[in-house]
Structure 1
Amino acid sequence: MEEELDLIEQYFNKGHTYSVILEMLSSHHEIHISIGTLKSRLKDLGLQRRGGFSSLNAVRRAISSELLGPGQLFGYRTMWITLKQKHGLRVKRETVMRMLRQLNPRGTLLRARRRFIRRTYHSMGPNYLWHVDGYDKLKPFGFAISGCIDGFSRRIMWLKCGPTNNNPEVIKNNFIDCIRSVGVVPMKLRTDCGTENGDMAAVQCTLRHHHSDYHAGARSHLFGSSTSNQRIESWWSLFRKQRGQFWMELFGDLRDKGLFNGTHEHLCLLRFCFMGILQADLDECVQLWNSHRIRPSRHALCPGGIPDELYSLPHRFGSRDCGFAVEEASLTIFQEGPLNEDPCGDPDIHEYLEQAMQQGLQQPHTWQAATELYITQKNIAGL
């Protein structure tokens, strides 16, 4: 009973409708209840669609805290879903829009709408085509990001940060870990022509070689230019506006103040202090993105909706899951074991920094604390 209530509260807070909550419970947890029982459970939990709004002071404090970090790049819709899912606040979107105009007028002005002419995108369903690419805007500061998005649902399949995204073994392991998590291999995989994608392409084609559809075997992977990999490239643009720009400016300020010069030692130290914080921010970004609602677009034949719903319940949108089930034994032969890559990127420097941490320093949990740790470690090392 307690597990059932926790699941209901979790799905409700993600913004799912009653019918979706019932189907999620039935499909994924073998919990079969009526809509009347669901409403009764929600009443017991004190959850309701209308009313029960949080105080304006609590909302203002939460928005102010978000504006200290990547949240300064959010529009009012993204901020609204963040307040609801991350801070557990109930507030009208109009209220969030007014507060953002007051608290962040410059950001509101910079997010003026612009129109672009786009190609029409088509996908048969979830797991029909995965788009994989690396994000290099933070590479000058030592952080390489690898990401994958499902073309139909626009669900982020993985978003990983590390010392490199050019190592084929790293990209391959990200791919295998994702397949293991969702239990299927996509019908097609699309990447650019970088050598880091070679091992992943080989795994994809091998896992699909015994299937009989038109896209089986070698046809299941597509090499192409970055500009043609439109789903992930388009998402990187959104990522920069909502997250990446904050980190670029933060690290750029360290460089402008003479605290970072791009040498190997400085790169390793910056990674040591910020890698965990940046990955946590990426995880939060994925969670919020996969739970927000995408409006229908005339530039794509894919329906609008919430990425998690589009991916998990494609039949509700007139589609089907296009993936192919894969067994664990089939994946084990490709993955010898986890890579022994420390976040720092240099075992010797990592060991030295770990020893310095034993002098009473604390692992950071915020970007402010990570900045202070970076400056402290830099002074200890005499860099």
Structure 2
Amino acid sequence: MEFVQHYFQEGHSYGVILDMLLTYHDIKISLRSLKRHLKNAGLFRRKSYSLLSDVRNAIRAELRGPGQLFGYRMMWLALQQKHKLRVKRDDVMRLLKELIPRGTDQRTRRRFFRRTYHSMGPNYLWHVDGYDKLKQFGFGLSGCIDGFSRRVLWLICGHTNNDPAVIARYFITCVQRLGVVPMRLRTDCGTENGTLAAIQCTLRHHHTDYHAGSRSHMYGTSLSNQRIESWWSIFRKARAQFWMDLFGDLRNEGHFNGSNEHQCLLQFCFQNILQADLDECVELWNKHRIRPSRLAMCPGGVPNELYYLPHRSGSRDCGFPVEDVELSAFPESRLTAQLCGDKNIQEYLEFAMEHNQLQCPQTWEEALKLYFTLKETAGL
């Protein structure tokens, strides 16, 4: 069965697979039948491990990019989900100690202190915030995380994260994709969140619960928006530091001066590559397992499972269904994304690529070469 193989390859347990089949596909089978289907498909939990040479090569490939910041658990998940390799976690830990001993030693010395957090269920409270560490290079990131499941709902890179219309478009796109509006929404007091707050309150104005209408949105300080702020620190260690170092080296070596032209050129060359990396980061995070914590009222588990199957943890979906026709009333839903913040520069760079028969980059190395080529062509 296609669904069985899909859920198994995503790393779900037998119980979750059976629950997914029943909840979303109306397929009811026994545990014995499930194991028989997996056996016939040649899928096993503890058999058919990949060659260690293949695993080592895949780890080396990850270490050449943002994966050099992975711990052994995230690396193990990346090997399973991205490279389709079967490997023991202990082997991954041993190989990481062998290939990058310094990074392994640094991670073992870290400690995290978390505050107590309360949430009733998925879609009870969404946390939205911008990430400005890459803004000096022209990339404004915006993210949203569900407070209960810790599932990242969007992580998008654009030429700005200060435009209220852009942030509102991210929110509308996410609500349309999920088909629900959250019970509550939390942001900081930045002006970029004004339209977002108005849309949330408008979509919730006809509901009758305590948090309906204007109570459905909360402004607060960044320190109070702890779910997304905590995740940003994880994101920096796992992904952002690689890009900060890459673009920082360009600046330090005199290839980037922070001007609008240089920022637009960097955006044009790297935005799709960076967004693809962010998408991969979100996918891996949403499939990894979070340990239970005595300091949190939310259960541990896999974010995707906690979000889509809240009844397994004694909770419920707190979101409210929303129709596409309600969302289409907002003009922000019709906005389109741009590669860079200046249309004239973007048109010139597109012409230069076509005239010189240059290909769109598929990796960060190719994007770097394209940056130098277009920089020389434009005389920047």
TM-score, length basis structure 2: 0.98
Query: Which of 210, 214, 219 is the aligned partner of 1:214?
Result: 210
Distance 1:305 1:17 in 2: 11
Query: Which of 224, 229, 246 is the aligned partner of 2:242?
Result: 246
Show the counterpart of 1:234. 230
Show the counterpart of 2:364. 367
Show the counterpart of 1:310. 306
User: Structure 2 regions of 5+ residues with no counterpart?
Assistant: none
Amino acid at match of 1:49: R
Amino acid at match of 1:382: G
Q: CA deviation at 1:116?
A: 4.2
Q: Does 1:148 find its partner at 2:144?
A: yes
Provide Cα deviations, 1:128-165, integer angstroms capped at 9, x if missing partner: 10000000000000000000000000000101100001
Provide Cα deviations, 1:151-189, integer angstroms capped at 9, x if missing partner: 000000101100001110111111111111111111100
Distance 2:365 2:171 in 1: 32
Q: Secondary structure at the match of 1:111?
A: helix
Distance 2:319 2:127 in 1: 14
Q: Does 1:17 find its partner at 2:13?
A: yes
| Range moving further from structure 2, 161-170 or 328-337 | 328-337
Show the counterpart of 1:331. 327
**Matching of residues 76-87 of structure 1 within 5 Å:** 76-87=72-83
Q: Secondary structure at the match of 2:296?
A: coil
Confirm or deny: 8 A CA contact 2:122 2:307 kept in the other structure: yes
Q: CA deviation at 1:37?
A: 2.3
Q: CA deviation at 1:207?
A: 1.0
Show the counterpart of 1:263. 259
Distance 1:188 1:98 in 2: 44
Provide Cα deviations, 1:272-307, integer angstroms capped at 9, x if missing partner: 000000000000011000000000012211000000
Q: Does 1:28 find its partner at 2:24?
A: yes
**Matching of residues 153-232 of structure 1 within 5 Å:** 153-232=149-228
Query: Which of 98, 119, 122 is the aligned partner of 2:115?
Result: 119
User: What's the RMSD between the two structures over aligned residues?
Assistant: 1.1
Provide Cα deviations, 1:57-78, integer angstroms capped at 9, x if missing partner: 0000000000000000000000
Query: Which of 27, 36, 40 is the aligned partner of 1:40?
Result: 36
Count of aligned positions: 379
**Matching of residues 66-145 of structure 1 within 5 Å:** 66-145=62-141
Confirm or deny: 8 A CA contact 2:222 2:229 kept in the other structure: yes
Amino acid at match of 1:374: Y
Distance 1:239 1:143 in 2: 15
Alpha carbons of 1:260 and 1:162: their partners in 2 closer, same or farther (altered >3 Å)? Answer: same
Show the counterpart of 2:315. 319
TM-score, length basis structure 1: 0.97
Alpha carbons of 1:253 and 1:122: their partners in 2 closer, same or farther (altered >3 Å)? Answer: same
Query: Which of 326, 334, 339 is the aligned partner of 1:343?
Result: 339
Provide Cα deviations, 1:17-41, integer angstroms capped at 9, x if missing partner: 1121111122112333332222222
Q: CA deviation at 1:91?
A: 0.6
Q: CA deviation at 1:13?
A: 1.2
